[in-house]
Structure 1
């Protein structure tokens, strides 16, 4: 569709064609709903992310019918290597894969189009159209100017970007929950031996972690992330902690030999790119009359690990389910908010577990015990599979049990 051509109206307008928006659009279109999916970028496009696909993402991709296509392109792995400050590590089994978001998002977006959703880009969300307090569409800006689209429902799936949340009147916190920096590094020799996802904790990475995720074609996704990046000051304002992510990445290379090998001898593909994270289903209202918020716009990233692809897909599916059940505004909004509220306790547990990022010595303890206890290793694998409460492992009570069991 030409960026200058948009319909005057549609049944559901989905703004943002990342995992959440495209999952929502595909599900609605498959059910026969008239869907317009718009994005500010033409696809395929780059997206700053770790690119890791853990079990929740696999389940959502199966539900969308794109699992096989994604896995045919992805690098598959059998475990995550958790590396503690003193160098000890434990390999946690799991169903894992890595595929750059440029490819993954294009697959899910194309699936939405194949199901019947109309796709238009580049169109940027400017403001909602209102009838009183109810959202009845959106004003979008493209290369040739602005255009208005009327819609029975609008789904906001614009990721961690704050301006769309503010414009839609749903932003409750401008500051992100965390920040991350990643790059793609080609190193085919290392790819012969480094076959697992690696996450590294160290005092020099305090407040966060480093990662190395092997991807297709001998290209690694390498990065560093910081959780709890913004401190709240008097008056409710938030400012970022005094941390330089590039220096954090250099520190990662200084304490982890594979990271040093990649940064010193690998070939950087593209630029190092940073992005904010919105976590724990916080920072934005989940709905207002005529509008549902989903994906990272609603805070669908886990604070502990920074993983967000699976939950973005899942929340997109939940938004579609709320719309498909029908009913008046109040009923649809209630279903959507109840679905997200049902996930909230799990996000709270991962938020609680994220204190390990600020106390990396805990990683030493957990890794030390897991290397000696198959039962604890199984519990760690169950956390990865979302069958185990991470708080039971990483809470102070859990740590006490680790020390004295």
Structure 2
């Protein structure tokens, strides 16, 4: 089997990459280890960067026709203070979002092979990746490709097989569930993010989803000790943190009391801050959460996954248009990720709020009294303001003297 580009992983990054390439006339084979319609553990929140990426892909209207629109992120501090930060927001379960994005890639001309599992790269005599060995229905097949794009998410197995994994442990972990509670529709009008001692060193959330459902969960960043790329999970029990969230945050308790849990609670790893993996090797690009495209402070990763997937596609297309060699294509892609890296680092700095939830109380208290600070917080959401400044010494000083 042959193709121009083999994209491994049909999540937001892989489908975005495949759609952009296929629209340009590239022969794309998109594979996923699960059959279409698979679930993905996620908060399901679509913040402004996701809206922008969906618009670039030409699927925003389709997504919004199904999504639950939301106008604010509700930030709730340990002492119960609250500030609603405006933004362009929505919620759509990943099962539906990923299916829409996959269909868009196929509509553009990408071929789908699923379930098919990436086993190892095919490497030519010069040491360049020239395809992949796949496992399909128990049989191993070989696909030859000019480029391979790994968009395999947070689980590092494919990265390790490709020789690109630098950190085997995740950056964080999350646990989420869906609760159907039609009687509470309208009671939760924002993407509620909650900091408290009960969920330290993480945060809890409740997001209103379509069809009378709610996405409820907890997340913890910096969840593992790491040494030389390997390490062990810290003493963190996500289920205990989730139970504490529901016990100490009354709206969560009410949701669990009055609603019906749909399915079971599910956990997943997170890879953040564009760290933990080499981004390229000859013939191969790594994109999406496999490259660490999730923000550490918020745990949001859908928008940046799609953005990095499109950057991978654009690097390949530029190489084809200009006749660039392998090294130039890789250098162009890596430069585009390096351009994003400072923003990820700033979100990592802002992550100290999760370690010190009293900072959330301070920010909320001041934002209730400062329209300027509220605009700055909205700017963080819309990626027009620096999140690190909010919790720097200079930023904290400005809270009192601005």
Structure 1 length normalisation: TM-score?
Answer: 0.97
Aligned equivalent of 1:371: 368
Partner secondary structure for residue 379 of structure 1: helix
1:258 aligns with 2:255: no
Kindly provide the CA deviation profile for residues 134-172 of structure 1, in whole angstroms up to 9, marking residues without a partner as x: 100000112241110000000000000111000011000
| Partner-residue secondary structure (3-state), 1:198 | strand
- Three-state SS of the structure 1 residue aligned to 2:299 is coil
Measure, in 2, the Cα distance between the counterparts of 1:391 and 1:29: 38
Q: Distance in 1 between matches of 2:200 and 2:71?
A: 27
Matched, 1:54 2:47: yes
Structure 2 Cα separation of the partners of residues 367 and 231 of structure 1: 31
| Cross-structure match for 1:12 | 5
Number of the residue aligned with 1:5:
none
User: For 1:229 and 1:380, how far apart are their aligned partners in 2?
Assistant: 26
What is the number of residues matched between the two proteins? 397
SS in 1 for 2:119: strand
Unaligned runs of 5+ in 2: none
Partner SS state of residue 209, structure 1: strand
Runs ≥4 residues deviating over 6 A = none
Q: Following the alignment from structure 1 to structure 2, what is the Cα–Cα distance between the partners of residues 288 and 399? A: 42
Tell me, in whole angstroms, the C-alpha distance in 1 between the residues paired with 2:318 and 2:15: 19
Q: Per-residue deviation at 1:236?
A: 5.8
Pick aligned residue for 1:83 from 71, 76, 79: 76
What is the deviation of 1:193? 1.8
Q: Distance in 1 between matches of 2:175 and 2:237?
A: 10
Asked whether the 8 Å contact 2:50–2:304 carries over to 1, the reply is yes
Return the match for 2:339 from 328, 342, 346: 342
Q: Does 1:360 align with 2:353?
A: no
Pairing partner for 1:157 from 133, 151, 154: 151
Structure 2 SS opposite 1:199: strand
Rounded to whole Å, the distance in 2 between the matches of 1:286 and 1:237 is: 18
Q: Assess if the C-alpha contact under 8 Å between 2:279 and 2:286 holds in 1.
A: yes
Q: How does 1:156-195 map to 2 (within 5 A)?
A: 156-195=150-189
Moved more, 185-194 or 104-113: 185-194
In structure 1, stretches of 5+ residues that fail to align are 1-7
CA distance in 1 between partners of 2:401 and 2:58 (Å): 46
CA RMSD of superposed structures (Å): 0.9
Corresponding residue for residue 278 of structure 1: 271
Q: 1:4 aligns to what? A: none
Deviation sequence 1:321-343 (CA, Å, 0-9, x none)? 00000111011100100000000
Contact 2:69/2:89 (8 A) holds in 1: yes
Aligned twin of 1:143: 137
Deviations 1:258-294 (A, max 9, x none): 1111222210111110000000000000000000000
